[in-house]
Amino acid sequence: MEFYSGIGGMHVSLDRAARHTGGSFEVLCAFDINPNANVVYQLNFGLTVNHKSIENFDCDYLDSFGADTWLLSPPCQPYTLQKGAKQKDTEDPRAKSFLHLLKLFPTLKKPPTRILLENVRGFEMSETRKQLLSTMTPSYNYQEFLLSPTQFGLPNSRMRYFFLAKKKPEDFLDPSRNGSVLCFIPCCKYFDSEGRPLEGIKKIECYLEGDDPNLHSYLVPQRLLQKTSRVMDITKKSDSHSCCFTKAYGQYVEGTGSLLQQNLDIDLDSEDSKGTDIIEKLELRFFTPREIANLHGFPADFTFGSLTKKQQYQLLGNSLNCVVVGNLLQYLLQNQDSKI
């Protein structure tokens, strides 16, 4: 089952894992209360998302699905380390639904045999995480991770926390790592035996849409350039880095994600290019939703239907990286057929 399914990042990740392992899976149900996300999910996977509030679930309802794997991506706002965040943790109303699941968990008659949870960096320091571990430790072997797409060769920084668990006596390929917070995936082709990344980071140009005549509509408005020119992160197509894209991307430029410099005749690092007047000559534009989806590992045929650019940015900002999660699922499932 997919809890907080969003636009289907977990589903795409499952597809990736199944292709690489030869296993198969069946998604029994997906849950989310965001109507735009649910439209996108149904468009791409043909499955109607259940918009019932998780806080209204009881044990009988969860047991009725008989799912052996739970995939969860609870709201991140209670735990985010972003500037201005209140970090209210368990006191944040948006944490209630996940805390409700934890409360129900010990009394389930058919608990899942495998669990994957994704959240922002900061969750690992939360009271919610303490409650998660307290709930799972008696019956599950677990491993925790802090991973970014850059470790998998993708030019995008998006550090996230992951929790993987297997119901005892089932265990991980490398059980010596149980109870640890890891910065690599054991037995994964992207890392050597010491946990060092093996993949070189690709260039931004590999993920761009090319010479689309509609790209002019993504130019950053002058009002935003004048207001926040000193706090923008600027990248070029030849670079191998970009900042994490948030749901406010396209509306603001400070701390929401990188901008793409199109005029490559100007070198921002040279002495002649100092000063705010040079910013307007850079021909800065926003990354398109399709380009962000590419960086997040969504397939080329993934569609947002008729949603506006703003809506697409919001959904992508709340999504996950399918390459990272796909590799975690390979590690979790180990060639097993699953009802999810």
Q: Which domain holds residue 258?
A: 204-315
Cα 101 from Cα 265, distance rounded (Å): 55
The set of residues, in sequence order, having a beta carbon less than 8 Å from that of 152 and lying 6+ positions away, is: 190, 197, 199, 321, 323, 324, 327
Q: Are 126 and 24 in the same domain?
A: yes
Q: Are 215 and 243 in the same domain?
A: yes
For 301-309, what is the mean pLDDT? 98
> What is the residue-wise DSSP string for 234-290?
EE-TT-S--PPP-TTBTTB-TTS--EEE--TT--TTSGGG-SGGGGGGG-EEEPPHH
CATH number at residue 301: 3.90.120.10
Taking the CA of residue 269 as centre, how many other CA atoms within 13 Å lie in the half-sphere pointing to its CB?
A: 3
Q: Are 95 and 213 in the same domain?
A: no
The count of domains in the chain is 2
Lowest model confidence (mean pLDDT) among 23-32, 269-278, 329-338: 269-278
Q: Are 160 and 303 in the same domain?
A: no
Q: Are 190 and 307 in the same domain?
A: no
Band (259; pLDDT cuts 50, 70, 90)? very high
Q: Are 59 and 186 in the same domain?
A: yes
**Mean pLDDT in the chain?**
92
Q: Taking the model in full, what pTM does it have?
A: 0.94
Cα 4 from Cα 93, distance rounded (Å): 15
Q: Are 41 and 144 in the same domain?
A: yes
pLDDT at residue 335 is higher than 60? no
Structure tokens at 149: 């797409």
Better pLDDT: 20 or 296: 296
Residue 201's φ and ψ, nearest 5 degrees, are: -80, 130
Q: Are 192 and 87 in the same domain?
A: yes
Q: Are 196 and 213 in the same domain?
A: no
pLDDT at residue 269 is higher than 90? no
Q: Which are the catalytic amino acids? A: 76
